[in-house]
Structure 1
Amino acid sequence: MTTSIVAPHGRWEPLTPARIVSLLAAMPCSWWIAGGYAIELAVGHRVRRHGDIDVMVLRPDQHHLHEALAGWECWAADPPGVLRPWRPGEVLPASVHDIWCRPGPGRPWGVQVMLDETGGGQWVSRRDPGVRRAVATIGRTTPDGIPYLAPEIQLYYKARNTAPKDHTDFLAALPTLSTGQRTWLSHALSRTVGPHPWHDHLTP
């Protein structure tokens, strides 16, 4: 069932992961379901209600979005909190990390695309360039072909300014994390965030 959420910039009716696959499958680049849905795809079951749905794309691949979402409206979130139209052919500056997309004028928002950094074949955290991984290792795929961001990377992003929903996601994902995933997340949090309540759950 589609959930409608009223947001400051209009109403959200987030697409399902399967619908996003049908829209973006032809893109000649990697992309991943992110946010709370990435956690649910990792654990294999519903965790909580969602107000939106996120997709992560590497910044150099941003132009493929206009091709995949032909006919859609795409709006860039210019800090601090201003939405403006993103026109085909415009290369978004490094200060813009989020793009809101909807099927047409006045329609509910369907998906938010997050742009992340890359260099030398590595994903590079926009919050700390010292936190990085080979691009080939940052995603997973469900048995039915839905690509999603590795849960330890998604939790790394959720750890700053943690909201109750983020802690819910953490507790849901924790039993599924391998020792290597827990170690990576613990080290990344120590480097970028510092002491964090999640550390006690990540250490043996």
Structure 2
Amino acid sequence: MPRIETPWGPWEPEPLNEVIALFQDLEVPWWVSGGYAIELAVGRTYREHEDVDISVLRRDQLAVRRLLAEWDCHVADPPGTLRPWAVDEELPERAHDIWVREHAEGPWRFQLMLDEAEGDEWIYRRDARIRRPIASVGVAEDGFLRLSPEVQLLFKAKGRRPKDELDFTEVLPLLTGAQRLWLDQMLAIEFDAHPWRDRLRG
């Protein structure tokens, strides 16, 4: 994996299988997310990944922090900055992006993303009108869950970076009719217009 320099130190992503192994004993929901979620759905490697993303529910954050008690965790709070995340600190609602490394002198290894939930419903953090059962958010792989591609694409739709466009193009032929319809409808809620909608209906 590439080494990426940032103002807060370098990224040298942990291999995905090692991050998955770290989370195997976590007794709350978690999902492989980001570009790897799409690549797992496609079933083959087609680009490099600058990081590894793991999504968890905000309400489970302290259980996750305890799992990572020996790791150096920093939260983007406010966005554009990083500060240490103490083991017993419950993060404010504005904070959802966490960088993780083995120790303060080491490179960043993976990212945690905090997702919202209410009861048995997952809530899209950018627009609370978008909800779905938590049980439908993930797709089973061999011993873990990955974020369903239509859910991950909804997150990617805002930035539309080259890698997001590539992920959309690669996974689009594999989306079921129900996945295409859901993503089309959710894009209509979040955006006045979005170029992916025509391709989803094409």
Same-fold status (TM-score > 0.5)? yes
Unaligned ranges ≥5, structure 1? none
1:14 and 2:13 are equivalent in the alignment:
yes
Q: Distance in 1 between matches of 2:46 and 2:131?
A: 28
1:151 to 149, 152, 162: 149
Q: Distance in 2 between matches of 1:175 and 1:146?
A: 24
Structure 2 counterparts to residues 3-152 of structure 1, below 5 A: 3-142=2-141, 144-152=142-150
1:6-29 Cα distance to aligned partner (Å, 9 max, x none):
123111111222111211111110
Q: Distance in 2 between matches of 1:51 and 1:108?
A: 13
- In the alignment, is the contact (CA less than 8 A) between 2:24 and 2:144 conserved in 1? no
Q: Distance in 2 between matches of 1:86 and 1:95?
A: 14
| Offset, 1:171 | 0.3
Give the SS at the match of 1:11: coil
Q: Distance in 1 between matches of 2:174 and 2:73?
A: 35
- In the alignment, is the contact (CA less than 8 A) between 1:38 and 1:149 conserved in 2? yes
Taking structure 1 as the reference length, what is the TM-score of the superposition? 0.96
The residue aligned with 1:191 is 189
Instruction: Give the count of matched residue pairs.
Output: 202
- In the alignment, is the contact (CA less than 8 A) between 1:139 and 1:147 conserved in 2? yes
Q: Distance in 1 between matches of 2:14 and 2:187?
A: 31
- In the alignment, is the contact (CA less than 8 A) between 2:51 and 2:109 conserved in 1? yes
Give the SS at the match of 2:167: helix
Mean Cα deviation higher: 87-96 or 145-154:
145-154
1:93-140 Cα distance to aligned partner (Å, 9 max, x none):
000011100001110101100001000210001111010110000001
For 1:54, the aligned partner's letter is D
- In the alignment, is the contact (CA less than 8 A) between 1:6 and 1:12 conserved in 2? yes
- In the alignment, is the contact (CA less than 8 A) between 1:32 and 1:56 conserved in 2? yes
Q: Distance in 1 between matches of 2:7 and 2:198?
A: 36
Unaligned ranges ≥5, structure 2? none
Give the SS at the match of 1:74: strand
- In the alignment, is the contact (CA less than 8 A) between 1:158 and 1:166 conserved in 2? yes
The residue aligned with 2:171 is 173
Q: Distance in 2 between matches of 1:47 and 1:185?
A: 23
**Runs of 4 or more above 6 Å deviation:** none
For 2:21, the aligned partner's letter is S
Q: Distance in 1 between matches of 2:3 and 2:63?
A: 28
Q: Distance in 1 between matches of 2:6 and 2:28?
A: 30
Taking structure 2 as the reference length, what is the TM-score of the superposition? 0.97
- In the alignment, is the contact (CA less than 8 A) between 1:18 and 1:146 conserved in 2? no
Percent identical among aligned pairs is 46
